[in-house]
Structures are given as structure tokens and as C-alpha cells.
Amino acid sequence: MKNFTITGTYTDLYQLTMAQVYYLTGKSNQEAVFDYFYRKNPYEGGYTIFAGLGTLLEVLQDIRFTQEDIEYLKRIGLNTDFAESLADFQFKGTVYSVKEGEVIFPNEPILRLEGSIVEAQIVETLLLNILNFQSLIATKAARIRSVSGDRVLSDFGLRRSQGTGGYHATRAAFIGGFNSTSNVKAAHDFGIPAVGTMAHSFIQSYDDELSAFRDFALNRPDNCILLVDTYDTLKSGVPNAIEVAKEMKARGQRLLAVRLDSGDLAYLSKKVRKMLDDAGFQEVKITASNQLDEWVIKSLDDQGAPIDIFGIGTSLVTGAPDAALDGVYKLSYSNGKPRIKLSENLKKLTLPDKKQVHRVINGDGRFFGADVVLKADEHNPDMMYHPSEPDKSLSLQDMKQEPLLHKVMENGQTVTPYPSLQSIASYCQERLSLLPDEHKRFYYPHVYKVGISETLLKERNELKNQYKK
């Protein structure tokens, strides 16, 4: 089995068959501009967290076709001259994007990619693959953080993730608000705190639970968390954990936490808290795992469960229940002309030309509840119009507008040092704090308005009428 690495063949075949036509008809260097956006927030929520940009930029800087790739493309029927030309392939385009960790909304350009038609087409699939997945997971993580307060959130999801997707799920979860991960590889590569407890098998391998706890505590005294539900949580697990806690205290050490992984977590955590407190171990924390998500945590919180640390796996790293973000990548400008895709559904009519997005800011510095999409060379518009119901408009006069799209890559190289993952995670929480609460509701969140400028509206309508003739 070969090690998995991303090369130019990390794409859909039709990207290459289209690129081949451009090459053979002399259009390889034709200018193209594509927009990345999505149409619907996941989880029936009111927002999405943008994640994956750092990963994408790293891939774009390094992506190449190997000689093995080229020989394979010849074997599956691509033109020999075109396939050979890919030996010199290198992404040399320009990318404008919102900042990673930003709060984003449907139907606004999140990223604009400018380059030759061939390179822009070839990188479409990997761009969608990276941004859609990490944005989905970061949004799930942010939702879980929103109901968890300042309690510790740990990613336990690698074993349940879709293959190697668990690696970047950990990165995205940290952006969305998680504190740590059990994923050692991701922890090392991304600078995320690594955490771990023990499995039931460790305890089962001993003839008695107490001996297992003792050995673990002796060999991991600084970060000792004991799993207490292998046999009987209240009659065996917790009493044995308390005994070990006393032995550790006599050695000048401290039991960090006990972990619950089954049963009625609200009921058990209350009983466990009382047992620990009565034994004089108020500082020992309670960790809970087992099929947790934002809804379960909210329910536990409503029941007053005294849980300090949540270990969350399956629902986090799979983005359950949505499984995918519906991000798309559409051509908006090519060969010196704005381009449009028509649809019978006005909501699916694309926006032409090179564009910018402005966030409207309240007088108190918070988000007003509206973003406006405008042409890249426009200044602050005074009005914005509903993209599919143009009789609806909103005055923006005298309101502060913040541009969201910034140049992050030029000629295939990042323009400034990329921020650390810790900085991105902090930025995410900062921006979420500016989002009004009505957009964060789990039930029927208020829709964040995304409108278009009058200039862009006119250009879109002119192109629509032109192509409908």
C-alpha cells in the first residue's frame, strides 16, 4: 500500500478533461475568476464558521503532478501532449478570502480565486474538499462550545472519522472552540494539547479494578484520569478511584479526574460529585464521553450535571447529522468578461464579476445583521437589495462597512505569514461574540441578511437578459 499524498490527481476527472480542451485549443492562459460560496447553513443553524484556508494555501503552494501521475493519465486516455505539459504545472494564481475563523453566511463569496482557466479548474475539487469539510466541522465545534460555557472540550473522534479526514477534523474542531484532542498526529502537527485517559480493556486486563487504577496512577501521576464504569460506577469504580486518590495525595500527587463513559450521565455525575466531595476531593474533575453532541450537552446542563470535561467523538468529526456543507465553486469572470450561470430558480442565479463583501457594523461595534456583496471596484454602497426578491431593500447610508475579502495569495505564494491556529481559534470566538444572539439560536435562528449592491444587481440582470434571448 502506498502512502497517501496530495498531488495534482487529487481532483475529479472532468476537471482534467476540461483543462485538456483548453490546452488543445490554445486557451490555457485565459484569465478566470471563480467564487467559493455555499447556499445553506448546516444544522439548520444561523451561521457557519469558515475553516480550512490555511490547509488549502499550503496545498496550493506545493501541488504538482508526478511522473507517475502523468503516465497514469496517459493510460486512462488523456492526450499525451496535455498530460506531459502537466509536468510543469504549478499554481500561480491569486486568492482573496475572508479570514479563517470568520463567521460567514449563505450566498456570499467566501473566497475568490483568480488565475489561468486551467489551474483554476484543476484545483476546484481539492478546494471544495478542504473548505467544505473543515467549515462543517468548525461549525459543529462552535455549536458545541456555545452550550458548554468554559468547560473543557476534547476531540475524541479519530476512531470514528471517515478515514484520514479525522486529521483535519481535529484542526477544524480547534478553530471552532475545542481545547484538546486525543489525536496524537494532529496534536503534534497543529500544536494542539494532546489528552488521553484509558480504555476499558486496560482495566479488564487486570484481575481487579483497584490494581489497574494503582498501576496507572503510579505510571502517569501528572495527568491521571481513571475510567470508573467498567464494572459498577458507584459501587466499584468511584470507591476504587477515591482509594487511589488518597494514595496519590499521600505521595504528594493529585488525581486529575474520573471519567464516565456510559449510563445516565446526569444522574451518575451528581452521585459521583457527592462521593468525591464527601471524601474530600472537591478538586477532582468529572469527565464524560459517549455519543455526546450539542443537544446532549444542553440537556445535561439543563439537568445541572456537574461535568467539567466533555470528550466528544462521532458527532463532531463526522459533522452529524448533516455530513456535508453544500459549498460550490462558480465561474464569475473570464476572458475579460463577467460570466453568469442561469437557473429557473432565481435563488440559484450566480453573481457575475469580481466581487467584494462588506459586513455592516452597528454603532456599538457588533454585527448589524447584514452583509452586502458588491463589485470589487465599488466603494461603500448606500443601499443593498435582496438577491432573489429585488423589491426588498435596506438602506446602508451612514453605516460602517467592513471589507471581508483580503488578498492571501499572489502568484501562488502566501502574501504574509499565516496566523497560528491558536490565533485563528481566538479570532473565531471574537467574531462569534459580535454576532447577535438571535442568529445563534438552535431553534429558528434569525436569518442573517445577505444583499447585493445596486450596481451588481443591474449587471446581473443585464447578463440574465442577454443570455435568455
What's the pLDDT tens digit per position in 245-260?
A: 999 999 999 999 999 9
> Coil, strand or helix: which one is 456?
helix
CA separation for the pair 50, 270 (Å, rounded): 37
Enumerate the CATH 3.20.140.10 domain ranges in the chain, comma separated.
Answer: 13-137+322-468
- Return the residue matching grid coordinates 460602517: 400
What value does the CA radius of gyration of the chain take, rounded to a whole number of Å? 26
| Class of domain 138-317 (CATH, top level) | alpha beta
What's the rounded Cα separation, in Å, for the pair 459 and 87?
40
Work out the mean pLDDT of the chain and round it to a whole number: 96
* Count of other CB atoms within 10 angstroms of residue 84: 16
Angle in degrees, 0-180, between the axes of helices 238-250 and 265-278, rounded to the nearest 10? 40
- Are 147 and 298 a contacting pair, CB within 8 Å? yes
Peptide bond into 436 cis (omega under 30): no
pLDDT at residue 203 in the model: 98
- Per-residue pLDDT of 348-403, as tens digits, reads 899 999 999 999 999 899 999 999 999 999 999 999 999 988 789 999 999 999 99
- CB atoms < 10 A from the CB of 388, how many? 13
Report pLDDT for 345. 77
Bridge partners, residue 97, by sequence: 111, 406
**Alpha-carbon distance values, 261 to 160, 197, 296, 374 (Å):** 16, 11, 14, 51
**Spans of the chain below 70 pLDDT:** 1-3, 469
pLDDT at 311: 97
CATH architecture designation of domain 13-137+322-468: Alpha-Beta Barrel (3.20)
Residue ranges of the chain assigned to CATH 3.20.20.70 = 138-317
DSSP for residue 235? I
What's the rounded Cα separation, in Å, for the pair 86 and 111?
A: 25
pLDDT score recorded for residue 266? 98
Question: What pTM did the predictor assign?
Answer: 0.96
